[in-house]
């Protein structure tokens, strides 16, 4: 490595080589116990040491190996240690079990998001699109309970497009069943993707798996058709 500039500040546990600063514990060269700072210019092959008593010692190429090189060696050893730690951490992060774990976490969070997505909808057989999130399911269940307990024959229901519709108890039960099927379609999609993750043999294969819960609509359509 070509050394163009070196700065050493012992009080800050600081060595800077070629503009890259590292802070760590390092041994001082003998005679540098009261050194405030060292500066070395590798281009001009000159530098100086500033001591705490304001005395400055000039440096030239003949003094580099004795006065400057030990700090460069210490800096390089620390840099190599840090680089090795970073490489090990990256290797651990990118290990197949960890890559799969992150993808599975993404799959689980995607399911939660899909179930709470207020923009999700399905086309109900009662004649209009309805919201397909957990809140819609709760609302429909509440309306069914209300109508059954009061004997109400029809009630107003807000469709996905914010249009009110008159619906019967049977309409609500139909929508409830359809939402249950939609929920099963979401889980079927999750199991499908989880199987792909389990079967993947490399990080690249896991990374290539795309998680898109909107694809559950195809599964839902197949379930409705088979019913």
pLDDT at residue 100 in the model: 98
Question: Are 120 and 61 in a shared domain?
Answer: no
- pLDDT tens per residue, range 105-129: 999 999 999 999 999 999 999 999 9
Q: Left (φ > 0), alpha (ψ -120 to 50) or beta: where does 146 sit? A: alpha
pLDDT at residue 114 in the model: 97
Question: Are 84 and 128 in a shared domain?
Answer: no
Mean pLDDT of 163-191: 97
Question: Are 49 and 129 in a shared domain?
Answer: no
Look at residues 93, 124, 144 and tell me which one is the last residue of a structural domain: 93
User: How does strand 5-9 pair with strand 20-23?
Assistant: unpaired
Question: Are 164 and 217 in a shared domain?
Answer: yes
Question: Are 115 and 102 in a shared domain?
Answer: yes
Which residues, other chains included, contact 13 with Cβ-Cβ below 8 Å and sequence gap of 6+?
A: 23, 24, 25, 26
pLDDT at residue 75 in the model: 98
Look at residues 56, 71, 93 and tell me which one is the last residue of a structural domain: 93
- The domain of 131 spans 96-226
Question: Are 143 and 205 in a shared domain?
Answer: yes
Question: Are 18 and 67 in a shared domain?
Answer: yes
pLDDT at residue 54 in the model: 79
- pLDDT tens per residue, range 31-55: 999 999 999 999 999 999 999 987 8
Question: Are 84 and 103 in a shared domain?
Answer: no
- pLDDT tens per residue, range 76-101: 999 999 999 999 999 999 999 999 99
């Amino acid at each position: 490595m070509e050394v163009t500039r070196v700065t050493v500040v012992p009080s800050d546990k600081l060595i800077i080589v070629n503009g890259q600063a590292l802070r760590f514990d390092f041994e001082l060269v003998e005679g540098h116990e009261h050194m405030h700072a060292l500066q070395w210019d590798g281009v001009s092959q000159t530098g100086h040491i500033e001591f705490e008593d304001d005395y400055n010692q000039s440096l030239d190429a003949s003094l580099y190996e004795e006065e400057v090189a030990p700090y460069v060696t210490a800096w390089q050893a620390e840099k190599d240690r840090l680089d090795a730690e970073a490489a090990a951490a990256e290797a651990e992060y990118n290990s197949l079990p960890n890559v799969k774990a992150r993808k599975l976490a993404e799959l689980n969070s995607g399911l939660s998001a899909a179930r709470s997505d207020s923009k999700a909808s399905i086309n109900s057989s009662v004649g209009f699109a309805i919201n397909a999130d957990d809140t819609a399911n709760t609302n429909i269940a509440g309306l069914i309970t209300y109508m059954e307990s009061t004997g109400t024959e029809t009630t107003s229901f807000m469709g996905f497009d914010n249009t009110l519709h008159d619906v019967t108890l049977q309409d609500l039960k139909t929508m409830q069943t359809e939402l249950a099927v939609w929920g099963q379609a979401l889980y079927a999609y999750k199991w499908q993707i989880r199987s792909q993750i389990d079967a993947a043999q490399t990080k690249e294969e896991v990374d290539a798996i795309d998680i898109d819960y909107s694809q559950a609509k195809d599964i839902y359509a197949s379930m409705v058709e088979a019913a």
